[in-house]
Structure 1
């Protein structure tokens, strides 16, 4: 419950960040008792952390209900991420890829046990909002896992999201081997029913996979026979994305 080995200041920072993560996973509005239950804290501690975050603009408190929600500072950081990573530069590429494939492109990076979609239809750069998706149940997540030498499926929480979700570590390990062998990952209704996705890796100047580029569509619009074709198209576009995002000095 408590990280006793950490200095007091570090513990407070970690707790505050975990409060923010509560809204990512359980939002959009939470009371102090909800936060205390989710983080196994005293309610008074949850109140104190939340009030500190309110004072810095990371949370807002509803005057009528006393419940908390994410504040403007979170959106500002999201907009800063969009600018600082140069994501605005790839908007024409995303449009071209969508037109070429009839799908909805997306771009993701890894954050702990999740992939964060940082560009695409799920992202609002003005509001700074992104979509978090589990690594094991998404094509983008599988890409980010497959080329991570430290990835260990047995250490992931393999939550079943649909009947097609891989929940066995050995099955996931075998799936990641297939992803590496063919150079792309697929998701056939594993995260959301009746949705299909193909994803390919984006590598930096030293050959490390840093992002995943995905093409997503409804299952009725994306037969599995198109997976290899879409993967090739995404791979054809990948160098342009890499030049703009991962080694823009070229």
Structure 2
């Protein structure tokens, strides 16, 4: 059987040329013309136009309104992770204050660009890596805050992999859990990311737009996370409220 994606001898060169066109648009900035790209890369104009039309069709580039130049498109933004600045000192002080009140790990995450990134991880209670949390949001409390905020959570949770025996991997069950997060403003997971640990997480939202900007999590023994923990949840919500004017 013929491989449907097998590359011919010319295709690698075409791929390199397309990537070079993208790099040139980044370097030259919005409004760069096909003629300028052709000259900079020493490509034939006909080849340049074909590559530009292909990249526009795939939404990696867009034509500017005057139709004379090009700029990066929607899909180009997915080629790089968003740059997330560290939280301000006042926000870190709020997180540190909560750490001083509980024995559990306290972590602050950013949701910029609909991507989960740890921006203040508890050094005394090392969490899972940001890359793991971002790749498997279905298995973490912080990830569920992000998923519950999406119009279609399946677009972000494409791999419902069982990381432990407790990980929820069924779409219907996960959808029900996310509905609970939306209703209560609290996400919980018990032993789904790490069999011995669990987390509680609450959102930090922009007070004007309501947009989800960050999440504050408490992580401890899975058996303890499964308990009501009303006092811990109260502390968690209070400190998330303090973070609102600092992070929004």
TM class by smaller structure: 0.5 to 0.7
Q: How does 1:188-227 map to 2 (within 5 A)?
A: 188-204=190-206, 205-219=208-222, 222-227=224-229
CA contact (8 A) 1:110 1:141 kept: no
Cα distance in 1 between the residues matched to 2:85 and 2:215: 17
* Deviation per residue, 1:86-125 (Å, 9 max, x gap): 2x332221121122232211111347786221112269xx
CA contact (8 A) 1:198 1:227 kept: no
TM-score (norm 1): 0.59
Superposition deviation, residue 10 in structure 1: 5.9
**Aligned equivalent of 2:51:** none
* 1:92 and 2:93 correspond: yes
185 and 155 in structure 1: CA distance in 2 versus 1, 3 angstrom threshold: closer
**Aligned equivalent of 2:103:** 102
Cα distance in 1 between the residues matched to 2:109 and 2:139: 14
Cα distance in 2 between the residues matched to 1:165 and 1:236: 29
Pick which of 192-201 and 154-163 moved more. Answer: 154-163
Which runs of no fewer than 5 residues in structure 2 stay unpaired?
Answer: 6-11, 25-81
* Deviation per residue, 1:204-243 (Å, 9 max, x gap): 13111121110111336x3522444322221111121111
**Aligned equivalent of 2:179:** 177
- Report SS of the residue matched to 1:136: helix
Pick which of 153-162 and 101-110 moved more. Answer: 153-162
Q: How many residues align?
A: 171
**Aligned equivalent of 1:118:** 119
TM-score (norm 2): 0.59
**Aligned equivalent of 2:139:** 137
Provide the aligned C-alpha RMSD in A.
3.2
**Aligned equivalent of 2:85:** 81
